[in-house]
């Protein structure tokens, strides 16, 4: 790994881990829906500005339905669900629970392709379930109905991310990642526009809350996705997805350092179990390169008679 790739990897992990910190601060004041609307709208406009500079402007009208589905799966629903969860649970726990996304991705892919997961992958899923049980059952928070609902919302958000990842591969396989992210966030903003007007902020936000939302949108979302796309270009998707192991670590670090969230022995232990499960289910095999033909003399093309290519069919087989 080149030094610059390692720096990008750490930056994305830190930015995405910090998003749970900013959501924990803003959600109780703005409400999960209004907070998410502000986040995706600002991030979408920022990415659109970058797209204008790079001449990669998405034409959402060409595939409006596709972008709306993508925006719902990858932004509107999961961002809102995490905001709902963080009304009850800590940012640290939300970040660790979100690391179960690859486990859900394995299940979604197995159902879609009708294939049976391998032994290590099944072991990884079981280990991940055990890790979540350790986090919830032995954590520092009091277990009650609202807390369990919050955990369920976090896990449901991870499922939406997994569905969105599979949908992206199916619907947008050849689309530039910056175009996909821009369309995704702008579509999510359109989806949440009416709900955010119906559910306005619970109180007037302070300057600190406004700063949290702006940082969440521009740094954690827009800049985080931009750097992630750079990683995909330089390292490939498998290498870039190793950021999955860093996000919960930074989420735990930021939540403990800046919010003073309680840290018990069960949280690092449960996080280690979840990350080990992610390692087991992640396909780390390199994508095979196409075979290179052996060097040899290149035969000169034979000249075809003029009558062999009729007018209007030049270039056709």
Query: Quick one: pLDDT band at residue 110, thresholds 50, 70, 90?
Result: confident
Instruction: Give the model's pLDDT for residue 3.
Output: 85
pLDDT, mean of residues 169-182? 85
CA-based angle 34:40:46, to the nearest 5?
135
Instruction: Give the model's pLDDT for residue 139.
Output: 62
- CA dihedral of 144, 145, 151, 155, whole degrees rounded to 10: 150
Backbone torsions φ then ψ of 186, nearest 5 degrees: -70, -35
- Helix/strand number for the chain, H first, E second: 13, 0
pLDDT digits (tens, 9 = 90+) for 215-243: 999 999 999 888 887 787 777 665 666 78
pLDDT digits (tens, 9 = 90+) for 114-149: 888 888 888 988 898 888 888 876 666 677 889 899
Instruction: Give the model's pLDDT for residue 305.
Output: 39
pLDDT digits (tens, 9 = 90+) for 16-73: 999 999 999 999 999 999 999 999 999 999 999 988 888 877 777 788 999 999 999 9
Enter the pTM of the model: 0.83
Q: Which of 228, 236, 234, 77 is nearest to 167 (CA)?
A: 77
The region, left, alpha or beta by phi > 0 then psi within -120 to 50, assigned to residue 31 is left
**Tally of CB atoms within 10 A around 63:** 16
Residue 308 has pLDDT above 70, yes or no: no
Q: How many whole angstroms separate alpha carbon 101 and alpha carbon 307?
A: 61
pLDDT digits (tens, 9 = 90+) for 185-222: 999 999 999 999 999 997 899 999 999 999 999 999 99
Q: How many whole angstroms separate alpha carbon 91 and alpha carbon 259?
A: 9
Instruction: Give the model's pLDDT for residue 4.
Output: 87
CB 69 within 8 A of CB 171: yes
Q: Give 140's DSSP letter.
A: S
> pLDDT: is 103 or 295 the higher one?
103
Instruction: Give the model's pLDDT for residue 283.
Output: 62
The set of residues, in sequence order, having a beta carbon less than 8 Å from that of 10 and lying 6+ positions away, is 246
Tokens 């992210």 sit at which residue?
181
Q: Which of 284, 279, 285, 283 is nearest to 124 (CA)?
A: 279
Q: How many whole angstroms separate alpha carbon 72 and alpha carbon 194?
A: 14
Query: Quick one: pLDDT band at residue 306, thresholds 50, 70, 90?
Result: very low
Query: Quick one: pLDDT band at residue 287, thresholds 50, 70, 90?
Result: very low
**Tally of CB atoms within 10 A around 150:** 25
């Amino acid at each position: 790994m080149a030094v610059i790739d390692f720096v990008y990897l750490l930056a994305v992990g830190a930015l995405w881990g910090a998003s749970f910190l900013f959501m924990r601060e803003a959600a109780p004041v703005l409400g999960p829906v209004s907070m998410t609307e502000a986040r995706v709208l600002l991030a979408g406009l920022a990415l659109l500005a970058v797209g204008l500079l790079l001449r990669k402007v998405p034409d959402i009208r060409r595939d409006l339905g596709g972008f709306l589905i993508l925006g719902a799966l990858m932004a509107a629903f999961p961002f809102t669900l995490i905001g709902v969860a963080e009304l009850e649970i800590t940012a640290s726990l939300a970040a660790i629970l979100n690391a179960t996304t690859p486990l859900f991705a394995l299940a979604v892919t197995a159902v879609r392709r009708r294939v049976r997961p391998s032994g290590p992958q099944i072991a990884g899923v079981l280990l991940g379930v055990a890790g979540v049980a350790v986090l919830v059952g032995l954590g520092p928070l009091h277990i009650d109905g609202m807390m369990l609902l919050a955990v369920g919302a976090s896990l449901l958000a991870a499922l939406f991310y997994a569905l969105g990842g599979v949908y992206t591969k199916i619907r947008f396989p050849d689309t530039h990642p910056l175009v996909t992210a821009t369309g995704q966030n702008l579509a999510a903003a359109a989806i949440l526009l009416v709900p955010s007007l119906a559910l306005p902020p619970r109180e007037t936000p302070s300057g600190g809350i406004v700063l949290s939302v702006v940082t969440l949108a521009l740094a954690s979302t827009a800049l985080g996705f931009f750097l992630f796309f750079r990683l995909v270009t330089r390292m490939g998707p498998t290498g870039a997805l190793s950021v999955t192991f860093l996000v919960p670590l930074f989420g735990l670090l930021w939540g403990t350092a800046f919010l003073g969230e309680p840290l018990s022995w069960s949280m690092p232990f449960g996080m280690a179990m979840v990350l080990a499960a992610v390692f087991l289910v992640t396909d780390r095999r390199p994508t095979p390169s196409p075979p290179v033909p052996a060097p040899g003399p290149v035969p000169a093309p034979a000249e075809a008679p003029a009558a062999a290519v009729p007018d209007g069919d030049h270039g056709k087989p």
